[in-house]
Amino acid sequence: MRLREDCDHITARAIEAVQPDTAVRRALEGKTFADGRVILVAIGKAAWSMANAAKQTLGDRVGGGLVITKYGHARGEIPGLAIYEAGHPVPDENSFRATEAALQLTSGLSAADTVVLLISGGGSALFESPIISAAESAALTGELLACGANIVEMNTIRKRFSKVKGGRFALHCLPAKVYSIVLSDIIGDPLDMIASGPAYPDSSTVENAVRIADQYRLTLTDSMRALLRVETPKTLSNVETVITGSVRELCLAAAQAARDLGYDPLILTDSLDCIAREAGAFFAALARYHQHSERSLALIAGGETVVRVQGNGLGGRNQELALAAAQGIRGLPGTAVFSLGSDGTDGPTDAAGGYVDGDTAGLLEARGVDAYAALQNNDAYHALLAVEGLIVTGPTGTNVNDVSVLLIRR
């Protein structure tokens, strides 16, 4: 019970520390714009929180705007802004409808106008106006999610089939200026990849896009292959960008929370990028190696793992990571592994992630759950549900990637 309480405390403290409100206000306070209109456009899982902070800061200076976020992530009305909820991780008709509203709102602007663009993770699905058909867009996104491609590879492909990705939204806003405030959810903060870079020059190449498509054997029509070879914008003259937060801050906050609980924290990396199950096995190996420690330890990694979908179960990358660690830490005293997404959602589930400890593997067996079979079927959600191992926070209002933690309590 103590370990689970520690998990919940570290989770709450880490998420609280990376809320975007303060950072957005800091990026806007004292900022001057030209005498024209100021239009506010917020996209992503943290869009509502970012937009609310921006509207409070700018007040009547905002001459209109909209928010596009994931279903269940809006927290009410914001005066003067239209609120849209849409599909994630696969764009849907509401994604397209909301994006069309954004394009109309930012059409015909003058050089004296400014678009304040607030970007957070999830924007690739939520902010979309496809060049290809809606069915082709959904099918392509589904393939990319299932094949094990990482987020940079996915966005390299997706931006080539979109009217707003890869810097194209900033071009659409010309001659108006774009002031972009970004909450990063990608390792290394590559601005052209966060939400597929609607307002940043694209660093990816045609050759790289073709390589990725071939590597993962994506199903592309001849017309889609032709679009794959169209160059995206490499320069943009009307954009200023500020980064407000990243996974490094999430890891630092988790480390401080663990320290306050009596653990000696160590941040292993803020760029974890591998198969979720392999990361779980690695955390279990670390747990076994450090069992003789006389000190309480908290080993922390931030980043984003991937799942290779081969079954039809329910789960997400953080739940798979945790479940994959369960057998490896079986019977280890005072030992737990947990992993969660900072946005409060992990895959197509209502859970943020998963928690396991030295007792979990035995509990799964006692309740007739085969953990290996659950992993093979990508059904970590139901396995963890059976042993009260789900971490459920609800939508958090932020999104700066994932954090995974090994606790050894002494």
Q: pLDDT tens digits for the chain (410 residues)?
A: 799 999 999 999 999 999 999 889 989 988 999 999 999 999 999 999 999 999 999 999 999 999 999 999 999 999 999 999 999 999 999 999 999 999 999 999 999 999 999 999 999 999 999 999 999 999 999 999 999 899 999 999 999 999 999 999 999 999 999 999 999 988 888 999 999 999 999 999 999 999 999 999 999 999 999 999 999 999 999 999 999 888 999 999 999 999 999 999 999 999 999 999 999 999 999 999 999 999 999 999 999 999 999 999 999 999 999 999 999 999 999 999 999 999 999 999 999 999 999 999 999 999 999 999 999 999 999 999 999 999 999 999 999 999 999 999 99
CA distance 188 to 16: 22
Looking at residue 188, its pLDDT comes to 85
Looking at residue 318, its pLDDT comes to 98
Looking at residue 178, its pLDDT comes to 98
The reported pTM is 0.86
Looking at residue 1, its pLDDT comes to 76
- Judge whether 199 and 169 are in contact, CB under 8 Å: yes
| Topology classification of domain 2-14+248-408 | glycerate kinase, domain 1 (3.40.1480)
Q: Where are the domains of the chain?
A: 2-14+248-408, 31-245
Looking at residue 67, its pLDDT comes to 98
- Judge whether 405 and 258 are in contact, CB under 8 Å: yes
Please tell me the CATH code under which domain 31-245 is placed: 3.40.50.10180
Which residues partner with 336 through β-bridges? 357, 407
CA distance 22 to 249: 13
Backbone CA torsion sign across 85, 91, 97, 102:
positive
The separation between CA 169 and the C-alpha centre of its own chain, rounded to angstroms, equals 21
Q: Where do runs of H (alpha helix) occur along 35-191?
A: 47-58, 93-105, 123-126, 134-147, 151-158, 168-173
